[in-house]
Chain A
Amino acid sequence: MVEPGTSFAQRLKSALADSLLAGIIAFALFSLVLGLRTEDNVTGLTLQPRPMLLAVAVGIVFFGRLLLNLFVWQAEYPLTTPFAKLFTRDPFDSRDILVLAATAALGLLAVIVSAVFDVPAFELIGIALLAFVGLGLLRRLIVHVFPDLPYAHIFVVGGILFAVLFPITAYALEQMLNLGMPLRYWFDLSILVLTYVMLGLGLNIVVGLAGLLDLGYVAFYAVGAYTFALLATHFGLGFWICLPIAGLAAALWGVILGFPVLRLRGDYLAIVTLAFGEIIRIVLLNWTEVTNGPNGISGIPKPTFFGLPFSPFAEGTTFSQFFGLKYDAVHGIIFLYYVILVLALITNLVTLRLRRLPVGRAWEAMREDEIACRSLGINTTITKLTAFATGALFGGLAGAFFATRQGFISPESFTFIESAIILAIVVLGGMGSQLGVAIAAVVMVGGFEALRHTEGLQSFFGEGFDPALYRMLLFGIAMVGIMVWRPRGLISSRSPTVALNDARDISPDLVGQGRA
């Protein structure tokens, strides 16, 4: 913040000094990373200087920081004010409206330019700007119309409504107007996102509520998937019978894992759970007689709609014949979408309900202070086991769903990186916050998948640029960003489970993380 009364010259001077320093640091960092490239020649490795790229990178840092200094950090009226106001209830003044209108106009201009001159990069920028301002204003409008509606409820109700209506609406529109939308791809992606929402919500019970750091959650996902796959291929059982069995099998493994690690906390628990995840994967890989080893299990059946299969022909009636529809492969995918949506919502409801029951309160109390729990007569052994088992149950259900969706599973699907992604979803979303976990899953899984379709970036970085390759880099940047701005996750405040008068959210600084 700048003191009032500072002259423009003074501000310019300090902004220049700051930007120059940033530029020098950027030059020092980038001079080797970007400025030089090793080329494999006949004579051996040679260094190829890339002065233009270096100049552009340093220039972006210098001018970017200068602009930020002048118009945001040291400005009397920071240009970001109206954007920040989109997320509050403060009234707009005329300057705010002007800035927002200018942003929207810029976005529109970019879209028009891209359409007229065929520059895909501008389309991306334009849509991003328009979407940001548009969604922000929509949120403001909802807050204005329903002033008493808690902030989070808007997201929850809006999100669930969207999730329920999206496939039907999109499919109906496509049928009527024939827009050529890539429906199948959209639905597949949504199913993937919802699977991670469910996994995140399941792990949230163990890590977020009970405060037990579990790095091997994928083991339960694998147990669920293999339980269903083996029962289906060996005994010909269907998805709906196997779903609860898979969940219970995973829960049983949760208890089996829970027993030896009861005495461990924090880092030690993390190491043992990490090992457990690897053990399960390696057993699946090597126990060839049962699991078919690295070749995996194929031919896993799809779920039926109350006994009606989603296939073009079958021995009995198929779904499309029963309802007199023309066969369309998308029907089955929409059905899968609703199955995982219902499973994820059940996970969420059960978590909500458990938090209000003694066992859920004991989980949270254990996260806060295990010794105090024991002094109050709470059996922390049982409490930990129930947390492991409940988390594993949902992991197993998600695993069975994964198996039926893919039709094929192999140990490769259950590597450590899966555990890491699920844990990252829980931590980035805010431990213990179901809404945060859902948002983080959408952003992380959906967002990175969306990178594959940003053709616009190619016009910036050249034809050979594949943004999906930079997924891990962006993942890291997102992690650092969250750590800097929201160290306790996107939604970090805790809502109480019971109130005498009116419930108020609890500041994340007070909430334990179960690491002690």
Chain B
Amino acid sequence: MRLPDGYQERIYTPQQARSVEAVWRHEEQCAGRSLILPDGRCDVIVRYNADPDVVPRLVVTGPATQPYWVEFETGDRWIGVRLRPERGGVLWGDALGGAKDQVALGDEAEDLVPELAGLGVVGVPEAELRQALVRFVEGRALSPEGHRVGETVRRMHLTGGRFSVTELAARAACSTRHLNRLFGGTVGLSVKTYAALVQFHRALRLVCDAGGSLSDAAFEAGYADQVHMTRAMRRFGGFVPSDIPEGLIRPDVSGGLWGNRAA
């Protein structure tokens, strides 16, 4: 696992009983930009700077399915709460359906979570920011569908995204249509898209760590062939398997150690 300097996080357990998957903080030592890989999760973040005169800004991300670049200045800091995939509605409410790949900044973010509007002022200590974010996320009611979707998300991670939608629906004892509806209302993505993300992250790991060829990795990841793996890497990472960017931050989608996630 490659994590950037200045990045720390704490995983919250037991996972399925909570909305918070992890609380993380990150600080940049110099200006630059980073490629952030999509993880299908929503985050609520306060972005600020070591310079106390910089006004902190609230950020709410929707479930990401595309790679994006984040640009930063020296001393930029983020403190964030990453939600479990099936808890996206906690931040987006009814707007989750249109939240895919959206990032709400400043006023827009405060409209989504007005309870946190008070964090966008100078001088709030980091411990208070952290506490406010966690308290807010854990204090919001969970949707009743969350548990069933949580079980399905778990199966997707165990299988590396290789179960078909039909198999997932059968194991959840519902129709594929119903499962997709549940997913749209909790994760904010289709079952197929989330499974494809899980499969992509595992394939990336296999390419980097398994010690075999690209076609070995494509086979183990469950792609029909190497062409399909290449297509997935282009879609979710913006690169091809034979040319993975050096220093790429690879998030661990299992809810273990995660890479940098910022906006």
- Does A associate with B in a complex? no
